[in-house]
Structure 1
Amino acid sequence: MDQPLFAPVPDGVQARLAALGTRWEYLHPALYAGEAERRTATPNHPANTAGTRAYQEHVRVLREMHIRHEGWKRLLHDRLELVCNPAKTIAIGVMPGDEATGQPGYGPRNLHARGAATERAAENNALQLGLFDPPSKRDETHLEPGEFERLSKWFLLSYRVQVGETVRIHSELSLPLKVEKGYVVKWQDRIPLPVLEMDGVRKPDDDEGPGEIDIPIDFR
């Protein structure tokens, strides 16, 4: 897969990201890694493999970039996979968006319905479970009672469009405000990001695997 092409990042976008403690240079690798991992799925994998692998890489790289460069910590709270700043004021997660993602004049929605945890995140009304948190592992943090309500929970939305051999990934970093029936219907803030372009897309009728696999079986 060739290196991605994307438009220059406007200074205003970089400044808004910097105010949150992040940078385009942390978000771009996550999107790129997700697309690369998506392409490891073959037609013989389960139908949701490509999307699942892309999501997992989005989360992993997003966390690693912020942990390595900004001292953030990974956070798993109320089933939300996030990365959280040291002050516990801002956290970032990922979710696939619809065709309005990255389009300033439109209101995007998440591509798939989310669970109640996302609604609680949007409304800052999460339930606190337990009086004590387990001890944190390296690069991991936990929230004390009341901290979740004070945490701004942003999401890196992305929407993939394939045109011939080219894939365009539209994205934005946005703050959900209201969720209805599993879908974000109102955003408090949105930061549209440059479009990534990648080529070398594997066609569905390409090789479905690495060739013949010889696995010796001892029948007893």
Structure 2
Amino acid sequence: MAVLPVSAPDPHGYRAQLAALGTKLEYLHPALEAGETARRSATRNHPANTAGTRAYQEHVRIIREMHIQHEGWRRLLHDHLELVCNPDRTVAIGVMVGDAATGEQGSPPRNLHRRGSATRRVAEVNAAQMELFPVRRREEIVLSAEEVDRLQVWFLVSYRVVAGDKVHIHNELSLPGEFKDGYVTRWKRRIPLPVLEMDGIEPPYEDGGGEIDIPVPFR
């Protein structure tokens, strides 16, 4: 599978650009849909980060399942990043939450939440040293130093907006280029994708039908 060059033309031809990476919109948007559905299962009685955590977990799961089932990709845990990797071990995809510029042609986004050193190393295209006895899960792959050097790690970046009775998820598949103070400051390549629209949110059932009144007899 050919790696998409940094200077690829035609920024509006997202399907051709995705195909050059071995992926499709039909593999990416289902991950965002599953994440939004999982997010909505969290109530105000859950811990504060439950909605975002559930969305992230489903983003990773579905993006892996779609590529594994349809394209023969493999799971990859690379320097603590949860990814899916193509058979040639040249392209991997992860997920990231962006800011309000996500998916916009004119202004590049930043990641909404501060990221750690693993994202910095990916952005700098510096190969992290492999552990002597790496811990891996079944069916995962481990990259050699040479494979790490040529691996491109792309991110499905998403940003959700509640608009009336709809939820709009702005998204793009992008390749980080520079990283500073926990944030991506420059992208080598961006592939803005169509906005995903979903029906609005119905408040989940939280506190039951009311308080329970248990009579206590007085002695």
TM-score, reference length from structure 1 = 0.86
Q: Distance in 2 between matches of 1:210 and 1:175?
A: 46
Q: Distance in 2 between matches of 1:174 and 1:202?
A: 32
Q: Which has the larger radius of gyration?
A: 2
Q: Distance in 1 between matches of 2:207 and 2:154?
A: 37
Q: Distance in 1 between matches of 2:179 and 2:51?
A: 26
Q: 1:208 aligns with which of 197, 206, 209?
A: 206
* Equivalence for 1:128: 129
Q: Is the 8 A contact 1:133 1:143 kept in 2?
A: no
Distance 1:194 1:73, change over 3 A: same
Percent identity between matched residues is: 64
Equivalent runs, 1:136-151 vs 2, <5 Å: 137-138=138-139, 140-151=140-151
Letter aligned with residue 80 of structure 1: L
Aligned residues: 201
* Equivalence for 2:104: 103
* Equivalence for 2:153: 153
* Equivalence for 2:184: 184
Q: Is the 8 A contact 1:166 1:199 kept in 2?
A: yes
Higher relative contact order by CA 8 Å / sep ≥ 6: 1 or 2?
A: 1
* Equivalence for 1:218: none
Q: Distance in 2 between matches of 1:95 and 1:61?
A: 14
Give the superposition deviation at 1:179: 0.4
Deviations 1:93-112 (A, max 9, x none): 00000000000101100000
Would you identify which runs of 4 or more consecutive aligned residues in structure 1 move more than 6 Å?
Answer: none
Unpaired segments of 5 or more residues in structure 1?
Answer: 1-9, 213-220
Q: Is the 8 A contact 1:74 1:83 kept in 2?
A: yes
Distance 1:209 1:23, change over 3 A: farther
Q: Distance in 2 between matches of 1:11 and 1:192?
A: 8
Q: Distance in 2 between matches of 1:100 and 1:11?
A: 17
